[in-house]
Structure 1
Amino acid sequence: MTSSSASVPPSRKRRLFLRWPFLLGVVAMIGYAVVFAMHWDDRGLLWVKERFETTGERSESIWLPDYTVDIDAKVLPGMNDDEASDLAYNPRSKTLFAVMGKNPFLVELTLDGDVLRKMPLHGWSNPEGVAVLEGDHLAIVDERNHELTLVTVGPETRELKREDFRSYDLGESANQNKGFEAVAWDPLRQRLLFGEERPPRLFTWAADGRSPLTSTKQPVPSDELDLRNLSGMSIDPRTGHTLLLSADSNMLLELDETGGQVSFMTLLGGFNGLKDRIPRAEGVAMDEHGTLYMVSEPDLFYRFKKK
């Protein structure tokens, strides 16, 4: 009995053989497209570096791989058209403040993501960043106007008018359409940390968290910002480490006090307990217990706790 391979004409064998390089090329192109689309290239080197961190180094950091979501994509009621843009934790009230960029207002949330109050922001064009400073002081960054405004929010505040507070010009951005996006208060170093969305760049502004700003912003040199964009940031009050959030990279990145990469969390479904990908992560905050909070466009709330 002749084998089936022997019955295949030589010309057909040659055609099949010639197709393999083409098929392998197609598979390689699809694989690269998936890697690029899912931003695995941003995470590969970080994952390798994490394997070499010692137990002591992990205990002295936030160590994002150990976090698991316990509130997953909770809808913020009545905000589906407002575009959640940033998030900050208030250690005095034990609440969270979020800004909405499309329809400008400030909202106070419980740590479970329940709405306590909504405060219209009159005079702001596109608020994209918020930070809680000392006392009742907050900083709000307006991306479209390239401004940082220091405001006061007390328990009885129901609305804010930009004209009632002092604003500071942040200057031009490398990409005018992707300007200053995020801001965080660093109490350990007595400074405001804020950044441009794309390309990601960080700046500092010396401050005491209560008084008007008197210095000028200073760039933070860094070659560790392996992110496609910067959408939010926060400072861990325990370690002083910086958390950088990237919606385009689907990643939360931890930097140490020298700006070096320490750990990361991927924001895709199936990782860190997430059922689905966080659609567009725009804000991150951390409290004194190390609990992580995030908001995503259009109106989603997340909370992560360490295992």
Structure 2
Amino acid sequence: MRRFARPKPLIQILSVIALIALIAIGQYLRLFERAWFNLHTLWQPVSSQSMGLDKYQVVLEAQEIAGLDDDISALTYDPVRRSLFTVTNKNSELIELSLDGRILRRVALVGFGDPEAIEFISADTYVVTDESQQRLIKIHLEQGTTFVDAADAEQMTIGVHLGGNKGFEGLAYDSEGKRLFVAKERDPMLIYEVRGFPHFNPEKSYSVHVINNPKRDAGMFVTDLSSLQYDERSGHLLALSDESRLIMELDVNGRPLSTLSLGMGRQGLKKNVPQAEGIAMDDDGTIYLVSEPNLFYVFKKPAQP
């Protein structure tokens, strides 16, 4: 009887190395935590408090935002104007968009360095981030404003984890709690909670408190943060990851509740969202998304029967 040859030691060693590499890649991409979450949601009843991101479907996919030479970054919804705002960081501009992705106006940003995010605070008031210097800049934008100079604006710097190009990528604001959430992209990936900025009454003294929770943030099974959105109704935070092609819903304790995948074949998408940069949500719960190179998306949750 002919004996089968045993695998050579070299093949065994290469197989072990390949397995270790796959495990390392899976760990880096947080695939195991993501798979466990997806498996857990199969038998765990969906929380009544959850927004149910997995139910959302794309209704406008990859529409080009015409008329822009530079890539846009970030997105916020203005409930007063019922429009969206984004920024460009090469030739710095603030861009107002309609809810179907058309440019309504452009405002030059002077002295803002590397603007990466914008967030609506109240009527005519916004906060813009400067990623390179980790500045938060409060601006006023009236109907006739044609440019905004950072030198004339109230601003603050969060001088932690300085260096590189992995700074502030996202903002979200809790108008009731007067909290500004600031996302640091990665290395390390963190969400700061800023209280006391922006300041609303110049006649009163104030102090600024910056809080972060690395243990909570480590529970997010994504590899980077691109944008944030705060839902006033539930008190939950939406975190957008470009690299992981995912939107996560986090409860008040930072626990993941639901996800919206930005991959081909999910949520009705015909193609992958190439590089998601900004997320916003209107009063009806419609989710708007921008992706490089200047693509516009709209997701809606179907009405319940």
TM-score (norm 2): 0.86
Q: Corresponding residue for 1:218?
A: 210
* CA gap 1:246/1:42 in 2 versus in 1, 3 angstroms: farther
Alpha-carbon distance, 1:218 to partner: 1.8
Q: What letter matches 2:114 in structure 1?
A: N
* CA gap 1:254/1:238 in 2 versus in 1, 3 angstroms: same
Q: Is the 8 A contact 1:143 1:179 kept in 2?
A: yes
Structural mapping, 1:43-192, within 5 Å: 43-55=34-46, 57=47, 59-79=48-68, 81-173=69-161, 176-192=164-180
* Secondary structure of residue in 2 paired with 1:62: coil
Deviations 1:266-285 (A, max 9, x none): 21111111111111111111
Alpha-carbon distance, 1:30 to partner: 8.9
Deviations 1:26-51 (A, max 9, x none): 98589669857976345212212323
Q: Corresponding residue for 2:183?
A: 195
Q: Is the 8 A contact 2:76 2:280 kept in 1?
A: yes
Q: Corresponding residue for 1:271?
A: 266
CA distance in 1, matches of 2:52, 2:210: 28
* Secondary structure of residue in 1 paired with 2:293: coil
Q: Is the 8 A contact 1:188 1:240 kept in 2?
A: no
CA distance in 1, matches of 2:220, 2:206: 28
* Secondary structure of residue in 2 paired with 1:285: strand
* CA gap 1:219/1:209 in 2 versus in 1, 3 angstroms: closer
Alpha-carbon distance, 1:300 to partner: 0.9
The one of 279, 284, 288 equivalent to 1:293 is 288
Q: Is the 8 A contact 1:42 1:226 kept in 2?
A: yes
Q: Is the 8 A contact 1:237 1:288 kept in 2?
A: no
Deviations 1:2-53 (A, max 9, x none): xxxx9xxx47x42789999689769858966985797634521221232354
CA distance in 1, matches of 2:274, 2:23: 22
CA RMSD of the aligned region, Å?
A: 2.8
* CA gap 1:34/1:279 in 2 versus in 1, 3 angstroms: farther
Moved more, 166-175 or 146-155: 166-175
CA distance in 2, matches of 1:260, 1:120: 39
* Secondary structure of residue in 2 paired with 1:182: strand
Deviations 1:112-157 (A, max 9, x none): 1111011111111110111000121000000012111000111222
Moved more, 233-242 or 211-220: 211-220
Alpha-carbon distance, 1:225 to partner: 2.6
Q: What letter matches 1:275 in structure 2?
A: K
Look at both structures and tell me which one has the larger radius of gyration over its CA atoms. 1
Q: Corresponding residue for 2:252?
A: 257
CA distance in 2, matches of 1:252, 1:38: 15
Q: Percent identity?
A: 32
Deviations 1:253-299 (A, max 9, x none): 11011221111122111111111111111111111111111111221
CA distance in 2, matches of 1:153, 1:93: 11
Unmatched 5+ stretches in structure 2:
none
Alpha-carbon distance, 1:219 to partner: 2.1
Q: What letter matches 1:62 in structure 2?
A: M
Q: Corresponding residue for 1:3?
A: none
